[in-house]
Homo-oligomer: A and B are copies of this chain.
């Protein structure tokens, strides 16, 4: 099942190197989630520290686990929108 996820980030007040290291680990975890087929797409919302993501997970509990595994999660405000299949979708993913 796919989910549209909107995320706003309020980065913590850390020294520059600690913050850079936090963002590095965020990038690494995002890559792992992408390789696992959980994170499908990610876009910046222009002008903001915010993004839209397209996620795939068996259910909302698995999605919650994936989202809270992100190093920046404590600094995120997240809204999850469940997505259903549309017959006109050009590139549907299989539902299993």
**Chain copies in complex:** 10
Complex CA gap A57/B65 in Å reads: 20
Asked if A82 and B26 make an inter-chain contact with CB atoms under 8 angstroms apart, the answer reads no
Asked if B88 and A31 make an inter-chain contact with CB atoms under 8 angstroms apart, the answer reads yes
CB A88 to nearest CB in B, in angstroms, measures 4
Q: Which residue of the partner chain B has the closest CB to A4?
A: B52
- Selected contact of A42 from candidates B61, B78, B88, CB within 8 Å: B88
Complex CA gap A30/B11 in Å reads: 25
Asked if B89 and A42 make an inter-chain contact with CB atoms under 8 angstroms apart, the answer reads yes
Asked if B60 and A1 make an inter-chain contact with CB atoms under 8 angstroms apart, the answer reads yes
In the complex, what residues of B have CB within 8 A of residue A61's CB?
A: 1, 44, 46, 84-85, 95
